[in-house]
Structure 1
Amino acid sequence: MNTKKIHPISIAIAWCLAWGNERQPQFDITVLQEMREALRNGQEVPEEVKAIVQQVEELENINDDYFPHTLDELKRKYSNLWNQTNKIGLVYGGVTKVKGYVFESEKLPDIRGASGLLDQINVVDLPVFFNKATESNLYRFHYPKVREWLQSNFPGKNLLAALIPELIIYSCGGNILAFCPPAFVDDLANAIEKRYTYRTLTANSCAVGETFTLLEIRFGLLRDKIEDTFWLEQYQETYENELVESYFGKVVQASSVQDNFKYRKSFNELTTKLAIRFNQRRSGNKTENRPTRRYPSMFETHPYLRRDETEKRSAITQVDHLPGNPYFSESSAIKRQFSDRVKTGKFKNYNWYQEGEDFLDEGWVKKFKSFLENNPEQQKKYAKNHHIENIKIADSLTELGQVSNRYIAYIYADGNNMGGAIQKIRTPQEYQEFSQDVDNATRYSVFLALAENLHPRKLESENDYFIHPFEILTIGGDDILLIVPADKALQIAKTIGEQFENILLKKIEISGVQIKGKNYTLDDNKVENTPRIHRFSEEILEKQQCKLSMSSGVLITAYNTPIYYAENLTSQLMKSAKKYAKLLNEKGYYGGTVDFFTMKSVTMISSNIEDFRKQALTIDKLKLYAAPYTLPELDKFLQSIHALQAAEFPTSQLYQIRSFLERGRRTASLNYYYFCCRLNKGQSTLQSDFEKIWCQAKTNPGKIAPWMYDIKEEKYETIWREMVDLFDLIEFSHNKSPEPSQQETSL
């Protein structure tokens, strides 16, 4: 039997079916290995498994748009798939309560180590379970250790032999979704949870699994007696029922009833079931035939024992070479020692925690360097005349603050419209391609933003040297958490949002990166010519928009602001930006948004940012702020700040105008125009780049600077306060104003 090359996911399904339902394969293992190689190379498969491969190929060849109106039609058209006795295992798992573990300590090295450790478990260790190795040669000695650990912790389970690389659907963003032979579902889930505990001691993790038939992979959950499954004809009669609606979702138009049912009855329904079971197990509910999660790791202390300085657990070691000779508990020692590896990817001369294993890690900076090496144009922009290998990584937030005028910024970004996109994914192949595309777009949008907006900065010390002026805390799935210099924070956030969409739309090419998923361009009929989406005066026709986008929260604050507190506020800003993006979707804008806040005092906010804005920055029908912004609005906002700087507006007058905002619209406008008339230069620039852009009057062609009128909320708002807050913090390269984003770029 000659066969064509088939998708790796189909190889995984064939492997599970050929293995069978027991721990020992129903065919000799060599037959399964020959089948795998034949399918990978488009060759003839062994005679014993031809019938199985034919079933898998039949499943793969089902048209993406096909959906049976009745179960009789499904049985008649795919009778070979109907009576399926063999099952396929599906496992979903990953880390939980990430922030509680990563931000347990306020020190950057500990945070870096915790984040890098979780990332390595997800991206390196778990794929090794499936005999999959990364491209990096750094881990060549690490792989045998992981396999040995798996074998020793699950002896006699035959787990290593049962798992192959093609079984992984995705492993990124702190989660893994993978197929496996049905007999190993519980073992694999247990191994995932145990690996996190073994490496970290205290990080929470959870994994669940279930078995499904071949037909369910394509058409969702089916009853044991398939004929009894709730199907389209019943749904069309009861879709308005509250119980049915809560499961399948609300039908907006009667014409979309079939589509609503079709998107639910797919592979998406299987992952939803696992997500529900995941939440149940994470909450401590009992799982049959598996160890309980009700009792998390606890480290008892004693009043006469030494405790560590952050977690208050019993200290086991003291580090003489660090400032203050700190004491560490076992879990904090693991973080800090791993952080040493993350910094350089090399061992240090000292090994102060002898019990810890010698794990190495690439670290995000090393990955960033690899990106620069493969993209010389970006390397030239970032490095200028510096040798990348001579640039060091910051040891603390203090060092990042020293090269950033003592102010840094936290950027927390998250993808928009992801849930809606996932709901329309009907096959595991699409799941795999979608996760890889989003992960690539997220990662390389960050690398592009850093390369285009930053350069190595000199750290003034006894031995002056240059450092990378940023810290990548995490990039996973569609999540980003960065620490960057305050003077470039908004430019970086804007570039991330723009390049995320450009990568998915294939407007930009990156060496070694291929977008494999279906078209991410939004349908033209969903794009409306609504010029009032953006609050500036210029009309923009939203065309060729991306279905997915990125919303970011940016907190600009002093370097010594407690990091857990800063992360919490940044998360609030990110959620505010996402809320604004969702609101704009209804108007036809599907792009990114950014919300930012400048906090020059830690005691500035006592509760949360939303309450602070309502109580302190909202007076009757006046809003003394304008955030969040769309990406085009942010571009115009930066242009206005540059105009303000170019006009050399006296700082005292800037703050005086800001103080008059609270006294009413007319008082603030009168003072603004009075001070503008006294400027020696820059009046025309302010008029063109600030007043004309933002301050159009409500009913006539005049200007009402520094205000703008919000038609929807019937309020006056202003960007002046935010401009003044950033006036002495933000910098533009070579004193040039922001230029329009390049729509077509090739790397």
Structure 2
Amino acid sequence: MGDVDAIKDYVFESSRLPQIRGASALLMQCEAEIRRRIREVDGLLLVARGGFLLAEVPASQVPSLVQEIHQIFASRTITATMTLAWEDPPGALPPPPSPIADGWAGRLIRAAPPSDPFPRRVAFLAARLRAAKESRTTIPTLETLPFARKCAICARRNASEPLYLPGGPLPVCPICWKRHDAGREARSGIRRMWRLWHPGFPGEPPQDLEQLVEGDPHGRLAFIYADGNDIGRHLMALSDPQAYQAFSRKIHRGVRRAVFEALGIALKGWHGNFWPFELINIGGDDITLLIQARYALPFALAFLERFHRHTSFTASCAIVIADHKYPIRYFEALAADLLQGAKERAKSGPGPDSALHFLWLPEPVAGEEADLFLQRYQSEEGGRHLRRTARPYRLTQARLLYELALELRDRVSRSQRQQWAEALTRGVLPSVQFIQYQIARAPEGDRPALWKLLEQARDLCGFTGANHLLFWVEEPGRAAWVTALMDLLEWAELLEAA
């Protein structure tokens, strides 16, 4: 079993699109070479995607394979590494020592029948891998001298290679040079792969983030991170390596199909010079994607629906939206934090369902904890707690959110929506009175649709039968009021140019 160390730090060290694309391509090349080498020694490859490896190989080949895998990463990436763990002796299951027989180790051993040891073997190997990661004492790095010129891309290492760009050569470090070179080659591969799915799609892959957001008047970029729900638990219940391998392949194919189908739906009718998205990674059951903000919600909804259709599992999705100049590493950190909230929401309903969480930073501020930014939607009023957002949403609610946001965009002017958003910050009664007054001034034929829209916005809060005041709902059992109207107003603004 193997797992790439600090994979996100390696991929998102730079916010330049060629660097991100190249880092992902280099890791995929490492995985491809590892797969080839395992087949050469007559091994059984269970999974090798998204930085994770699990395989069965002849015990005599383990020492040489471990050395070769380390060499593959060193030669292709210089600093990226993979921590490895293996059974020693092969297939051995350590019995629980008496002091821990009644602890978690003992429970784990007793959880699987003696006739079905494969799940236990995988569990013990995972524990050994975690221990190996925690005990790492060295990491590969390049010596950095204080008086040497720094890399023009990462600004962390010494520059030793010229990178020739249209604007002139840049002094860069070997790591950034490798990533850029791999990203340039990967661009043509992305073009071929995309056009296999959508042959008539116009334009070309973007060369940088400026080209990716071309056509968006505000230059808003969305980082999407999605992951399957409870798939790891299902994998651990499989009884043999062949079933594990078949299931992993099925999930990967289903995820890939869901991604390309969802992109085709979200970008239907799009025309431009450069594609408004960049697919960073399709792992085992997770994806990472950059896309123009106006297409983020349509893509996320289509992906979650098709993920379930093609894999029979649900998934969770996180969207972070900010200016395209916002550091990508913060995009990723916030999305990973939001994803945990989406997963909790997916499990909170009466049955399994997909879930969606999101965060828009109109004025980007550096941070890695989403809760710090979500606090701006909360306030106190007369001993009551007010929450101007109902996110995260289960998939059924998220579909309604999208439909209502489109209707709000079309029925209410942008300036009036901004007034509504400002009124929400004043409290329950002031906001209700102000919006009631605004609707009363609207043309008589538009009023019924607006009243219905606000009633449906109340339903997004999920508190059926609770006390309510137009679009505000009292949270049962708490002195708190919640509204989803701010979520609708934000997405109406983000979908303005769509």
TM-based fold match above 0.5: yes
Aligned match for 2:350, one of 579, 588, 591: 588
Please provide the CA RMSD for this pair.
2.9
Q: Is the 8 A contact 1:691 1:706 kept in 2?
A: yes
Task: Identify the residue that residue 123 of structure 2 maps to in structure 1.
Answer: 272
Question: 1:130: Cα distance to partner?
Answer: 3.2
Question: 1:581: Cα distance to partner?
Answer: 2.0
1:708 equivalenced with 2:469 (yes/no): no
Q: Is the 8 A contact 1:111 1:473 kept in 2?
A: yes
1:320 equivalenced with 2:153 (yes/no): no
Distance 1:693 1:302 in 2: 59
Distance 1:177 1:411 in 2: 27
Larger radius of gyration: 1
Task: Identify the residue that residue 299 of structure 1 maps to in structure 2.
Answer: 142
Task: Identify the residue that residue 611 of structure 1 maps to in structure 2.
Answer: 372
Distance 2:233 2:300 in 1: 24
Distance 1:676 1:686 in 2: 7
Distance 1:408 1:248, change over 3 A: farther
- 1:326 match: secondary structure: strand
Q: Give CA deviations for 1:375-422 in whole Å, capped at 9, x if unaligned.
A: xxxx6xxx3xx4xxxx31101111112223311211011121123212
Aligned match for 1:577, one of 342, 348, 356: 342
More deviation in 404-413 or 691-700? 691-700
Distance 2:7 2:125 in 1: 20
Q: Is the 8 A contact 2:87 2:125 kept in 1?
A: yes
Task: Identify the residue that residue 208 of structure 2 maps to in structure 1.
Answer: 396
Task: Identify the residue that residue 563 of structure 1 maps to in structure 2.
Answer: 328
Task: Identify the residue that residue 674 of structure 1 maps to in structure 2.
Answer: 437
- 1:177 match: secondary structure: strand
Aligned match for 2:448, one of 684, 701, 706: 684
Q: Is the 8 A contact 2:266 2:299 kept in 1?
A: yes
Question: 1:113: Cα distance to partner?
Answer: 0.3
Task: Identify the residue that residue 181 of structure 1 maps to in structure 2.
Answer: 58
Distance 2:82 2:464 in 1: 58
- 2:325 match: secondary structure: coil
Distance 1:195 1:456, change over 3 A: farther
Task: Identify the residue that residue 448 of structure 1 maps to in structure 2.
Answer: 261
Task: Identify the residue that residue 252 of structure 2 maps to in structure 1.
Answer: 439
Task: Identify the residue that residue 244 of structure 1 maps to in structure 2.
Answer: 102
Task: Identify the residue that residue 178 of structure 2 maps to in structure 1.
Answer: 334
Question: 1:270: Cα distance to partner?
Answer: 0.9
Distance 2:209 2:270 in 1: 14
Q: Give CA deviations for 1:559-601 in whole Å, capped at 9, x if unaligned.
A: 111211222222221122112223x1xx432111110111111
Distance 2:310 2:150 in 1: 48
Distance 2:321 2:454 in 1: 23
- 2:33 match: secondary structure: helix
Q: Is the 8 A contact 1:453 1:488 kept in 2?
A: yes
Question: 1:126: Cα distance to partner?
Answer: 1.0
Question: 1:607: Cα distance to partner?
Answer: 6.5
Distance 1:682 1:408, change over 3 A: farther
Question: Percent identity of the aligned residues?
Answer: 24
- 2:198 match: secondary structure: helix
Distance 1:304 1:607 in 2: 32
Question: 1:456: Cα distance to partner?
Answer: 7.6
Distance 1:305 1:222, change over 3 A: closer
Distance 2:115 2:267 in 1: 45
Q: Is the 8 A contact 1:190 1:207 kept in 2?
A: no
Question: 1:264: Cα distance to partner?
Answer: 10
Aligned match for 1:425, one of 238, 250, 274: 238
Distance 1:103 1:451, change over 3 A: same
1:414 equivalenced with 2:227 (yes/no): yes
Question: 1:173: Cα distance to partner?
Answer: 2.0
Aligned match for 1:371, one of 183, 197, 216: 197
Q: Is the 8 A contact 2:408 2:489 kept in 1?
A: no
Question: 1:718: Cα distance to partner?
Answer: 1.1
Distance 1:672 1:393 in 2: 44
Task: Identify the residue that residue 127 of structure 1 maps to in structure 2.
Answer: 35
Aligned match for 1:717, one of 461, 482, 487: 482
Distance 1:103 1:395 in 2: 16
- 1:403 match: secondary structure: coil
Question: 1:314: Cα distance to partner?
Answer: 2.1
Distance 1:560 1:699 in 2: 41
Distance 1:594 1:701 in 2: 23
Distance 1:262 1:396 in 2: 53
Question: 1:641: Cα distance to partner?
Answer: 1.0
Q: Give CA deviations for 1:589-645 in whole Å, capped at 9, x if unaligned.
A: 211111011111113x76732133336524332211111011110111111112212
Q: Is the 8 A contact 1:695 1:707 kept in 2?
A: no
Distance 1:243 1:682, change over 3 A: farther
Distance 2:386 2:489 in 1: 18
Q: Give CA deviations for 1:634-661 in whole Å, capped at 9, x if unaligned.
A: 11111111221232x2333322232232
More deviation in 482-491 or 433-442? 433-442
Q: Give CA deviations for 1:334-363 in whole Å, capped at 9, x if unaligned.
A: 10001110011xxxxxxxxxxxxxxxxx34
Question: 1:324: Cα distance to partner?
Answer: 5.0
- 2:56 match: secondary structure: strand
Distance 1:456 1:281, change over 3 A: farther
1:284 equivalenced with 2:135 (yes/no): yes
Distance 2:105 2:221 in 1: 45
Q: Give CA deviations for 1:674-704 in whole Å, capped at 9, x if unaligned.
A: 1111112532223334414625998989973
Q: Is the 8 A contact 2:466 2:475 kept in 1?
A: no
Task: Identify the residue that residue 550 of structure 1 maps to in structure 2.
Answer: 315
Task: Identify the residue that residue 651 of structure 1 maps to in structure 2.
Answer: 414
1:599 equivalenced with 2:370 (yes/no): no
1:630 equivalenced with 2:474 (yes/no): no
Q: Is the 8 A contact 1:691 1:703 kept in 2?
A: no
Give the letter for the 2:304 counterpart.
G
Aligned match for 1:474, one of 268, 281, 288: 281
Distance 1:688 1:702 in 2: 18
Task: Identify the residue that residue 59 of structure 1 maps to in structure 2.
Answer: none
Ranked by relative contact order (alpha carbons within 8 Å, sequence separation 6 or more), the top structure is 2
Give the letter for the 1:571 counterpart.
A
- 1:408 match: secondary structure: strand
Q: Is the 8 A contact 1:93 1:192 kept in 2?
A: no
Distance 1:675 1:262, change over 3 A: farther
Distance 1:402 1:338 in 2: 24
Give the letter for the 1:480 counterpart.
I
Distance 1:494 1:592 in 2: 10
Task: Identify the residue that residue 492 of structure 1 maps to in structure 2.
Answer: 299
- 1:625 match: secondary structure: coil
Where do 5+ consecutive residues of structure 2 fail to align? Answer: none
Distance 1:126 1:551, change over 3 A: same
Q: Is the 8 A contact 1:617 1:623 kept in 2?
A: yes
Distance 1:457 1:700, change over 3 A: closer
Q: Is the 8 A contact 1:263 1:424 kept in 2?
A: no
Q: State TM-score, norm by structure 2.
A: 0.90
Q: How many residues align?
A: 491
1:502 equivalenced with 2:309 (yes/no): yes
Distance 1:417 1:249, change over 3 A: farther
- 2:86 match: secondary structure: strand
Q: Is the 8 A contact 1:625 1:719 kept in 2?
A: yes
